């Protein structure tokens, strides 16, 4: 079974990395979501791709200067569409509650925290603490471009599958050594410049492969035919039903 990951939720239908975007997944038969996590000054883990508010909220400034109490005043939806005015910047704990409720699986990308290792270390610890709230029936992958952070995460939570993220420009001949050091089960390469030969090498080494970010149906089909296990996409709703989870009905909690 090939896997579709809703990249930052259903991010062409709702503002990325919001509860609204993740809540749409079950409606469209998408079982897996991808989210990004970073940390506020007071240690709260939030769901955000950027370490600033500028691009996806109604405010500017750094996450690392905020506290939990500041979240109530941040609108993370009005930039996208009037239907999402007042959509909050979610905490990771809020997302886990939604994942449990909607019976989703989750890929958590730990951001390369630009506030330094002390904050990165706190981010790792607080992500691990929050994951204790994840229902046992939910599947989980933790990924990062920061392979040092991934090594530390795996050391503290060895039972969780981890994935090394690579941009095409950083995917060198030492990729297998990096995966081995991280004790990774997955490699998550960028779609750009990915070849069938590379996919064959990854599979031959025993790794599962999820490719980001694939927004072309024909390219996704090609990747799946090459043996890729999953793709991250902003257009999960446009994929044919053979890639989706069929539910008896879409009422949350009906299963």
* pLDDT tens per residue across span 146-180: 999 999 999 999 999 999 999 999 999 999 999 99
Candidate list 7, 102, 147, 237, residue with the active-site label:
7
Please state, in angstroms and rounded to a whole number, the distance separating the CA atoms of residues 110 and 135. Answer: 20
Please state, in angstroms and rounded to a whole number, the distance separating the CA atoms of residues 78 and 56. Answer: 9
Per-residue pLDDT tens over the stretch 103-121: 999 999 999 999 999 999 9
| pLDDT tops 70 at residue 220 | yes
Q: Single out the residue of 57, 5, 37, 58 nearest to residue 243, CA to CA.
A: 5
Question: Distances from the Cα of 196 to the Cαs of 7, 212, 216, 224, in angstroms?
Answer: 23, 15, 17, 10
pLDDT band at 246; cut points 50, 70, 90: low
pLDDT band at 245; cut points 50, 70, 90: confident
Per-residue pLDDT tens over the stretch 13-23: 999 999 999 99
pLDDT band at 234; cut points 50, 70, 90: very high
Please state, in angstroms and rounded to a whole number, the distance separating the CA atoms of residues 57 and 87. Answer: 9
Helix (H, G, I), strand (E, B) or coil at 3: strand
The per-residue pLDDT for 99 is 98
Known active-site residue 7: yes
Known active-site residue 81: no
CB 157 within 8 A of CB 131: yes
């Amino acid at each position: 079974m090939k896997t579709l990951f809703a990249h930052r939720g259903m991010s062409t239908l709702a503002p990325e990395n919001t509860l609204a975007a993740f809540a749409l997944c079950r409606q469209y038969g998408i079982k897996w979501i991808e989210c990004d996590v970073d940390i506020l000054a007071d240690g709260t883990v939030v769901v955000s791709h950027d370490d600033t508010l500028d691009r996806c909220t109604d405010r500017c400034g750094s996450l690392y200067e905020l506290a939990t109490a500041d979240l109530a005043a941040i609108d993370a939806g009005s930039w996208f569409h009037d239907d999402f005015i007042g959509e909050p910047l979610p905490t990771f704990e809020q997302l886990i509650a939604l994942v449990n409720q909607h019976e989703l699986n989750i890929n958590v990308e730990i951001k390369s925290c630009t506030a330094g290792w002390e904050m990165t270390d706190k981010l790792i610890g607080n992500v691990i603490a929050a994951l204790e709230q994840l229902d046992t029936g939910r599947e989980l992958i933790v990924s990062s471009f920061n392979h040092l952070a991934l090594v530390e995460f795996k050391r503290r939570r060895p039972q969780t599958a981890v994935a090394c993220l690579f941009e095409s420009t950083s995917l060198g001949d030492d990729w297998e050594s990096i995966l081995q050091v991280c004790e990774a089960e997955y490699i998550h390469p960028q779609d750009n410049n990915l070849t069938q030969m590379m996919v064959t090498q990854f599979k031959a080494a025993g790794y599962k492969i999820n490719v980001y970010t694939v927004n072309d149906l024909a390219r996704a089909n090609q990747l799946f035919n090459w043996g890729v296990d999953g793709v991250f996409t902003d257009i999960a709703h446009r994929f044919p039903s053979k890639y989706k989870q069929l539910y008896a009905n879409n009422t949350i909690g009906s299963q």
